[in-house]
Amino acid sequence: MDGFDISVASEIMAIFCLATDINDLKTRLGNIIVGYTKENKPITARDLKADGAMTVLLKDAINPNLVQTLEHTPAIVHGGPFANIAHGCNSVIATKLALKLGDYVVTEAGFGADLGAEKFLDIKCRKANLKPDAVVCVATIKALKYHGGMPKEDITKESIQYLERGFANLEKHVDNLKNCYGLNVVVAINKYTHDTQKEIDFLKEKLQEKKIELSLVESWGKGGEGATDLAEKITKLVEKPSNFEYAYSLNDTIEEKVRKVACKIYGAESVEFTEDALQKINEIEKLGYSSLPVCIAKTQYSLSDDPKNLECSEPFKIHVHDVILRAGAEFIVVITGKIMTMPGLPKVPSAEKIDLDANGNIVGIF
């Protein structure tokens, strides 16, 4: 065995985040397929009479958690599916609750616009009948230089050359949000102390050419004051008309859905399916689940399915080697490249650095 699959646990988290209430949660949990009969008919958690007990375990967890920031601003934290292997959004219940309590609601979709944003828009918004008014695309100058090919050890040094090469990555994400999904976009640059004014001005000029506003965010060091400009630009942006649409139709075939995401959102020239993947697609269609959205599992490090292809300057293909039905979550997971369905963990666990010093003080957390 050379891997570890937590697919059922991952599906439960997805179900938890997509359920609209306790009854919907129980229905979805009961729809989880745990195996197949010799006649290739699905065996569900409901068949095993496990759905009731599973619902009981989650009956309190389904209630969103109200927390506060250091400046006492309310925030709701609820659910955490990974955007590279799942749909990457917090719960539908939390989002709808927030919409009832505030004039403006900001919610996060994990990783880039090729993963979290795509799944937020094509899966969560579609399922929950949500229509976003605007999108904040968060980027860092450091990451853009890295996507431009700059070595990690030099990443804090000023370089317009690498920044310009890496700008293509940001440009693709913005283009997806603006022209594929029809949404208004503001780019928030999460400023580091080593970012130079020359680099910031370069980005601002490039984005102005695309008629996209830039906001410099320093909330990490200044708190709310460091994000005031962004907040003001968001409140103006949501007043502008938008033309939100999905990247694909649920009436498309499973293969067509994957191709539309891969070609329109990732920028791939085509998609290659293994025979095994095509066979599984055929089986899913025979079971009557072809109208479900797709949840593509892909590396977060690249628009392609190759984590080392940072610039994606040459034409590339997306390689699909497995397709998995998640009947409870109500989407079809499409496995690409060499992505593992185990959530990403560091080579050296942070716990190894945490300890108590001779005076009883906690060290190694930061």
Q: What is the mean pLDDT of residues 163-167?
A: 95
Q: How many helices (H) and strands (E) does the chain have?
A: 13, 13
Please check the confidence at residue 281 and state whether its pLDDT lies above 90.
yes
Are residue 311 and residue 291 in the same domain, yes or no?
Answer: yes
Are residue 144 and residue 237 in the same domain, yes or no?
Answer: yes
How many CA atoms, within 13 angstroms, populate the side-chain half-sphere of residue 90?
A: 17
Q: What is the mean pLDDT of residues 232-254?
A: 95
Q: What is the mean pLDDT of residues 12-35?
A: 95
Are residue 232 and residue 308 in the same domain, yes or no?
Answer: no
Please check the confidence at residue 311 and state whether its pLDDT lies above 60.
yes
Q: What is the mean pLDDT of residues 242-255?
A: 96
Within-domain flag for 286 = yes
Within-domain flag for 102 = no
The pLDDT tens digits for 113-135 are: 999 999 999 999 999 999 999 99
Are residue 229 and residue 277 in the same domain, yes or no?
Answer: no
Within-domain flag for 205 = yes
Are residue 192 and residue 275 in the same domain, yes or no?
Answer: no
Within-domain flag for 75 = no
Structurally, the chain folds into a number of domains equal to: 2
The pLDDT tens digits for 147-164 are: 999 999 999 999 999 999
Q: In the chain, what percentage of residues exceed pLDDT 70? A: 96
Identify the band that residue 237 occupies on the pLDDT scale cut at 50, 70 and 90.
very high
Backbone φ, ψ for residue 146 (5° rounding): -65, -40
Please check the confidence at residue 9 and state whether its pLDDT lies above 70.
no
Within-domain flag for 207 = yes
Please check the confidence at residue 272 and state whether its pLDDT lies above 80.
yes
Are residue 236 and residue 286 in the same domain, yes or no?
Answer: no
Are residue 137 and residue 239 in the same domain, yes or no?
Answer: yes
Within-domain flag for 142 = yes
* Residue 337: predicted pLDDT: 94
Are residue 236 and residue 268 in the same domain, yes or no?
Answer: no
- Map residue 189 onto helix, strand or coil: strand
CB 272 within 8 A of CB 318: yes
Within-domain flag for 210 = yes
**Single pTM value for the model:** 0.89
Range of the domain at 312: 254-336
Identify the band that residue 343 occupies on the pLDDT scale cut at 50, 70 and 90.
low
Within-domain flag for 84 = no
Nearest in space to 256 (alpha carbons), one of 246, 244, 241: 246
Domain end marker among 243, 263, 291: 243
Are residue 216 and residue 139 in the same domain, yes or no?
Answer: yes
Give the Cα separation of 309 and 316 in Å (integer).
Answer: 9
* Residue 8: predicted pLDDT: 58
Please check the confidence at residue 224 and state whether its pLDDT lies above 60.
yes
Please check the confidence at residue 301 and state whether its pLDDT lies above 70.
yes
Are residue 193 and residue 281 in the same domain, yes or no?
Answer: no
Are residue 171 and residue 224 in the same domain, yes or no?
Answer: yes
